């Protein structure tokens, strides 16, 4: 039960993230949003174009949008347009960055970053 829920969750997630709109917004893909290929791809997904397949191979594991662009040697703006199509096709999921505003700067997060730097 929980496993099939997890699978279903992976499939619906892109649409959930875009608030139910069918056309995902490019605003999802900030530089440090991480994208991950959906594996296996949903059964009804369209066959990826060669450029899309290249992206999917690069995000078999979670990778930040900026890193993806650098690895593919493409402008971020171009990669983002392609990621929108992949998201719409259900072929990737996107994980937004940790939210940061004046109000949400949580101590726990800051302390973790501080400790991580201390270990360098």
Interacting residues toward another protein by CB under 8 A: 3-4, 6-7, 10, 30-34, 36, 39-40, 60-62, 64, 66-67, 69-71, 74-78, 81, 93, 95, 97-100, 102, 105-107, 109-118, 120
By beta-carbon proximity to another protein, the closer residue of 53 and 109 is: 109
Distance, CA of 111 to CA of 73 (rounded, Å): 34
Half-sphere exposure in the Cβ direction for 81 (13 Å, CA): 5
Q: What share of the chain is helix, strand, coil (3-state, %, to 5)?
A: 50, 10, 40
Minimum gap (Å) between residue 106 Cβ and another protein: 7
Minimum gap (Å) between residue 107 Cβ and another protein: 5
Minimum gap (Å) between residue 19 Cβ and another protein: 19
Distance, CA of 103 to CA of 27 (rounded, Å): 21
């Amino acid at each position: 039960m929980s496993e099939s829920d997890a699978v279903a969750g992976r499939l619906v997630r892109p649409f959930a993230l875009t608030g139910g709109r069918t056309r995902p917004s490019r605003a999802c893909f900030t530089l440090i949003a991480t994208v991950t290929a959906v594996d296996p791809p949903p059964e009804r997904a369209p066959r990826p174009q060669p450029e899309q397949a290249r992206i999917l191979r690069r995000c078999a594991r979670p990778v930040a949008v900026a890193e993806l662009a650098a690895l593919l040697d493409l402008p971020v703006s171009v990669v983002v347009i392609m990621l929108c199509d992949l998201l719409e096709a259900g072929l990737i999921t996107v994980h937004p960055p940790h939210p940061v505003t004046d109000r949400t700067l949580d101590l726990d997060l800051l302390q973790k970053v501080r400790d991580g730097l201390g270990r360098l």
